Structure 1
Amino acid sequence: MITINEKSYIKRLIAILIIIGAYSCSDDDSGGFVEESEEEEEETIDEESDFDGPTYDDDYTSIASWENRSSWNLANVHDPSITKDGDYFYMYQTDASYGNAHEGNGHFPYRRSSNLVDWDFQGMVFSEVPSWIKDSLNSMRSNMDPPLPAIENPTYGFWAPEIAEVDGKYRFYYSVVVTNPIVGNDDSASWTERAFIGLAETDDLASNNWEDKGMVVSSISDGLETYTRTGSGDWSGYFKYNAIDPSFIKAANGDHWLIYGSWHSGIAAVKVDPSTGKPYQLSSLEDYGTRVAGRGSVDQNRWQALEGPEIIYNEETGFYYLFLAYDELSVAYNTRVARSENIEGPYFGIDGGNVTNGAEAFPVLTHPYQFDNHPGWVGIAHCTVFKDEDTGKWFYSSQGRLPEGVEGINASNAVMMGQIREIYWTEEGWPVVAPERYAAVPEEKIVKEDLIGTWEQITLQYQYRTMQTSVDVILNEDNTLGGAISGSWSFNEDAQILSINGNSFILDNAWDWEASPRKTTMTYAGIANNGYSVWGKKSR
């Protein structure tokens, strides 16, 4: 997400602050991406069900403007955070929209839903910038060595909030980055200014009445580098911890923690006072937290290329799970996970790598991908992970972006669709994200006869800025495999587990978002023996 320097700020401008272009949507219900033969149409009709699933377009550019916000549903979503209050799920997000449709209308958009499928846009959390940010910024500038003059009109970015229910109250942790350079007017000669994490509270999300509690933490330097850069190629990282991307968790022992950070040095975890939601003190560098994840050692690489931390605790497995966003957000973004028995780590990947010490986190849970009949999705990371206590299901939510250069769509990579996917848990206690977006498809028991046919399979093998495409896998009636894979398959009907060449996959009913018209289908998901996530969708 944001890092406090020129490189990341420019990325944000390129990825988000684009000029909206004219585009006429197709009338079909798959976003105008599918061209079917007559034979394919016949197959689709034969497989229609009575389930009435989502039909809104993935290309929402024709309704992207502020005036059409009541029709957005999950259009114009970036860096979502979700919690439940009463009968509704509430989603809060970064200030980001196609063509900057949100500008001038407040900060931190939010929407709500009763079913996680249909979402109603509600408005903005703040109507203006909290005044404490400018005051805190200039107080810190006056105390720098040498002292720096006040910035009279700071420029801001409003990024990646966190909504959390805490003992009957709702805490809203929010990120505000000041994008002015620390010294001078040239980002190539100076780091851009710091970021702040603030806090607001309410008893009732429906009211949207918030009491602002001010600063929680700010970006902090450890003194290893000055705020003057050596040049435009200096990306070693001025800040120790970058105060963005907050995530809250109440640990199993009752302690309250804030997880935050991006790119500079790594991810921090700091214990906060349950009564205030803030650190107990901020008098020394250690008070800002301890590093729980990185990408390479700090000594060799202060530019970590990871962000968007989220920690959850699964009582059934006894592990804390740290979800991380890797790489740049417009295309390469991908989600990783590591786990630990202790909230402060160390966190280990499925391959045994120590992520706290800088090892690459595996498995990869989301990655740029493409099923047939659709341009595919990229930029799928910076997730929120939550459990619906009413159903016991876990969910993953982030934005997805259309790829660059989709024909007929101006700045297609700036189309940001909110995506919600179910999380499954393997027998070994690792999370797997569903191949298709959640649509509340009725749960029906799958039998062997349902599985026979052709499936599209994608292996989420990490490749920077490269989309993983599907191959056809045929499950034959005699339990042999055809298509791109040879070998055999088997099925445990009681457990609803499909085994392909010794790899176990979790089956589920799903909504085929790529079909035209959309229809119900089946998917499988799991982690192969090589440690990579695998997605499958039955196509015929």
Structure 2
Amino acid sequence: MKIFVIVFFVVFALLLTSCSEDKIDLEPIVEQEKEEEVVSVEEYKAPTYADHYLDVASWADRADWNLANVHDPSVVFDGEYYYMYGTDASYGGAHLGRGHFLFRRSRDLVNWEFRGLAMAKTPGWVKDTLNSIRSGYGLEPIENPRFGHWAPVVRKVGDVYRLYYSIIIDNYIATGLPNTAENFDGSWTEHAFIGLMETKNLELNIWTDRGMVIRSVSDRGSNWSRSSPYDWSAYFKFNAIDPSFVETPEGEQWLIYGSWHSGIAAVEVDPATGKPYKLDAIDDFGVRIARRENNNANRWQALEGPEIIYNEETGYYYLFLAYDELSKAYNTRVARSQNITGPYYGINGANISNGADCWPMLTHPYQFKNHSGWVGFAHCGVFKNEETGDWFYTSQARLPDNTDGNPYSNAIMMGHVNKIRWTEDGWPVVLPQRYAAVPQDEITEEDLVGAWENITMEYRYQAMQKATDMSLASNKTASGAFSGSWSYDEEKKILTIGSTKLYVDRELDWEADPRVPTIVYSGLTATGRPIWGKKVD
């Protein structure tokens, strides 16, 4: 593990910390007008909001945020709007003192109205439960814990919306002092908690808090010591952050959670309460369904942000995972299983539950031409439009360091919503351009002829994957990034170059000036590396 990864993880935790008990702004800022239906590409108007949103980053400009200041998003549809909830994170801390868990809504997944924050103040049960645990170890209470509010997941369950949320405690166990280098006392930092709140009406933003669902759990008793702030041997077995939720076809309900430490856990919850049936023993905290390495010795694995869905068309559970540190190297992997508790397998048949490296990779730091590119592109939410059957991937992505001369540009976090296509053998691929409601006019062979930019991605830690040129000729030959013959299945919208199948759609060229509709493709190599392309001429 590189020192930079550890240092950035700690610094980012501090940046997200907030203990405010101020009330949140519950009033709508701008009532979003319903978009008129677009009937053709020629009539389409592209969104104009900027990727580098520095000019509107302040709280006073929040009406113009759109998808600015999004981190770890989760999306649910209430019948009229899509609602997106995320981690406490904003450029320059614009939201601090105004509550927790930023949220916004949209009718079209393109234009988003910022609505405020979902939680007015940290629930009292968090501090009470923390200090009860400390008392059991003979430790003094912490009067003013440093809280971090991270990574909610929102789901509709029956007629209720559940929002599972993460709250971390950034104080050392031994002394209770805040987590700083000066305060280091030779111990791990304190427990994290997953809580639950519910509502029947997302628009009103009135939630009933249901208390603790689960907490970090250790299998090391009172042995919470470590040799230095850079000893990441992890006191906790499972870290109670980054919840995801799924209901099985049989009606079972499961919480998937975990980050770094020793892997990702799945625990069954009572449908009546949304909480585990019991938490009496360490086995009650769940079964490990994914880890990064094949041995149990490594208790600090660069693996987090699980998202779980069930696709009834394929009959698989899909477990999406965020690999590596979040500022630059973040990349998305996916594994699948026919059983909720696994084992989960990758595209190469490797057992992810036993620690095999997970392929396919779906996102990675990348750069098309005429743009800075995006890094830190993972920790996703995945959701389905039940009317159209379309699936979507959403996460944050960050601008690289020093974009447009801004030394802090890597803290620019823009929410991305990308359409998912499914391969013929049942794997998801993420389209390379953000969803922009471009009309899906028919795509013919003639439309594909011309100049393209292609990115065939390998895994390269923190390194940008850059586009190269590719051309499709009318004589059915490809040149540049691909060579050989090509064919096109117009009904399935599958472009085949040699033996590589690429899934085609119309999307927006976000890098063009002005932004214009284009054609894009996404696919996988035989070993599960993503292939992204867009037509540029």
Q: Note if 1:142 corresponds to 2:139.
A: no
Q: Note if 1:310 corresponds to 2:303.
A: no
Residue equivalent to 2:77: 84
Q: Determine the C-alpha separation between the residues in 1 that align with 2:64 and 2:70.
A: 13
Residue equivalent to 1:183: 174
TM-score (norm. length: structure 1): 0.91
Residue equivalent to 1:420: 417
- Report if aligned partners of 1:49, 1:519 keep a CA contact under 8 Å in 2: no
Q: CA deviation at 1:409?
A: 2.3
- Report if aligned partners of 1:6, 1:187 keep a CA contact under 8 Å in 2: no
- 2:410 counterpart SS class: helix
Write the letter of the residue equivalent to 2:160. Answer: K
Residue equivalent to 2:12: 12
- Report if aligned partners of 2:13, 2:148 keep a CA contact under 8 Å in 1: no
- 2:517 counterpart SS class: strand
Residue equivalent to 1:153: 144
- 1:525 counterpart SS class: strand
| Matching of residues 55-66 of structure 1 within 5 Å | 55-66=48-59
- 1:192 counterpart SS class: coil
Q: Note if 1:170 corresponds to 2:161.
A: yes
- Report if aligned partners of 2:332, 2:379 keep a CA contact under 8 Å in 1: yes
Write the letter of the residue equivalent to 2:159. Answer: G
Q: CA deviation at 1:86?
A: 2.2
Larger RCO (CA under 8 A, 6+ residues apart): 1
- Report if aligned partners of 1:161, 1:173 keep a CA contact under 8 Å in 2: yes
Residue equivalent to 2:471: 474
- Report if aligned partners of 1:16, 1:414 keep a CA contact under 8 Å in 2: no
Q: CA deviation at 1:351?
A: 0.9
> What CA deviation, in whole Å up to 9, does each residue of 1:458-510 have, x standing for no partner?
11211110110011111111111222332221112222210111101111001
> What CA deviation, in whole Å up to 9, does each residue of 1:323-367 have, x standing for no partner?
000000000000000000001000000011100000111010000
Q: CA deviation at 1:225?
A: 7.6
2:514 to 512, 517, 522: 517
Residue equivalent to 1:32: none
| Matching of residues 170-319 of structure 1 within 5 Å | 170-184=161-175, 185=177, 186-187=183-184, 189-223=186-220, 226-319=223-316
1:375 to 372, 377, 386: 372
- Report if aligned partners of 2:310, 2:318 keep a CA contact under 8 Å in 1: yes
- Report if aligned partners of 2:263, 2:301 keep a CA contact under 8 Å in 1: yes
Q: Determine the C-alpha separation between the residues in 1 that align with 2:446 and 2:534.
A: 15
- Report if aligned partners of 1:163, 1:171 keep a CA contact under 8 Å in 2: yes
Q: Note if 1:429 corresponds to 2:429.
A: no
Q: CA deviation at 1:156?
A: 0.5
Q: Determine the C-alpha separation between the residues in 1 that align with 2:455 and 2:226.
A: 43
Q: Determine the C-alpha separation between the residues in 2 that align with 1:357 and 1:301.
A: 13
| Matching of residues 401-416 of structure 1 within 5 Å | 401-416=398-413
Q: Note if 1:50 corresponds to 2:47.
A: no
- Report if aligned partners of 2:316, 2:338 keep a CA contact under 8 Å in 1: yes
- 2:92 counterpart SS class: helix
Write the letter of the residue equivalent to 1:105. Answer: R
Write the letter of the residue equivalent to 1:251. Answer: T
Q: CA deviation at 1:7?
A: 4.9
Q: CA deviation at 1:448?
A: 1.0
Q: Determine the C-alpha separation between the residues in 2 that align with 1:260 and 1:450.
A: 44
Residue equivalent to 1:365: 362
Counterparts in 2 of 1:128 and 1:122: CA distance versus 1, 3 Å: same
Write the letter of the residue equivalent to 1:94. Answer: T
Counterparts in 2 of 1:55 and 1:137: CA distance versus 1, 3 Å: same
- Report if aligned partners of 1:404, 1:411 keep a CA contact under 8 Å in 2: yes
1:72 to 49, 55, 65: 65
- Report if aligned partners of 1:196, 1:218 keep a CA contact under 8 Å in 2: yes
Residue equivalent to 2:30: none
> What CA deviation, in whole Å up to 9, does each residue of 1:96-134 have, x standing for no partner?
000000000111111101111111011111111100000
Residue equivalent to 2:95: 102
Q: Determine the C-alpha separation between the residues in 2 that align with 1:529 and 1:299.
A: 30
Counterparts in 2 of 1:15 and 1:481: CA distance versus 1, 3 Å: farther
Q: CA deviation at 1:399?
A: 0.3
Q: CA deviation at 1:390?
A: 1.5
Query: Which range moved further: 417-426 or 492-501?
Result: 492-501
Write the letter of the residue equivalent to 2:148. Answer: G
Q: CA deviation at 1:226?
A: 1.3
Counterparts in 2 of 1:14 and 1:380: CA distance versus 1, 3 Å: farther
- 2:479 counterpart SS class: strand
Q: Note if 1:123 corresponds to 2:120.
A: no
Q: Determine the C-alpha separation between the residues in 2 that align with 1:6 and 1:336.
A: 21
Counterparts in 2 of 1:525 and 1:283: CA distance versus 1, 3 Å: same
Residue identity (%): 56
Q: Determine the C-alpha separation between the residues in 2 that align with 1:173 and 1:270.
A: 14
- Report if aligned partners of 1:180, 1:192 keep a CA contact under 8 Å in 2: yes
- Report if aligned partners of 1:265, 1:298 keep a CA contact under 8 Å in 2: no
Write the letter of the residue equivalent to 1:318. Answer: G
Q: CA deviation at 1:194?
A: 1.1
Counterparts in 2 of 1:270 and 1:298: CA distance versus 1, 3 Å: farther
Q: Determine the C-alpha separation between the residues in 2 that align with 1:260 and 1:252.
A: 20
Unaligned runs of 5+ in 2: 18-40, 178-182
Q: CA deviation at 1:49?
A: 3.5
| Matching of residues 469-508 of structure 1 within 5 Å | 469-508=466-505
Q: Determine the C-alpha separation between the residues in 1 that align with 2:268 and 2:295.
A: 22
Q: Determine the C-alpha separation between the residues in 2 that align with 1:241 and 1:212.
A: 23
Q: Determine the C-alpha separation between the residues in 2 that align with 1:159 and 1:385.
A: 17
RMSD: 1.6
- Report if aligned partners of 2:306, 2:379 keep a CA contact under 8 Å in 1: yes
Counterparts in 2 of 1:188 and 1:411: CA distance versus 1, 3 Å: farther
Write the letter of the residue equivalent to 2:511. Answer: E
Counterparts in 2 of 1:88 and 1:518: CA distance versus 1, 3 Å: same
2:386 to 384, 389, 404: 389
Counterparts in 2 of 1:142 and 1:225: CA distance versus 1, 3 Å: closer
Write the letter of the residue equivalent to 1:148. Answer: L
Q: Determine the C-alpha separation between the residues in 2 that align with 1:385 and 1:75.
A: 19
Write the letter of the residue equivalent to 2:521. Answer: Y
Write the letter of the residue equivalent to 1:239. Answer: F
Counterparts in 2 of 1:253 and 1:276: CA distance versus 1, 3 Å: same
- Report if aligned partners of 1:6, 1:188 keep a CA contact under 8 Å in 2: no
Q: Determine the C-alpha separation between the residues in 1 that align with 2:112 and 2:347.
A: 35
- 2:193 counterpart SS class: strand
Q: Determine the C-alpha separation between the residues in 2 that align with 1:52 and 1:382.
A: 30
Query: Which range moved further: 48-57 or 87-96?
Result: 48-57
Unaligned runs of 5+ in 1: 18-47
- 1:379 counterpart SS class: strand
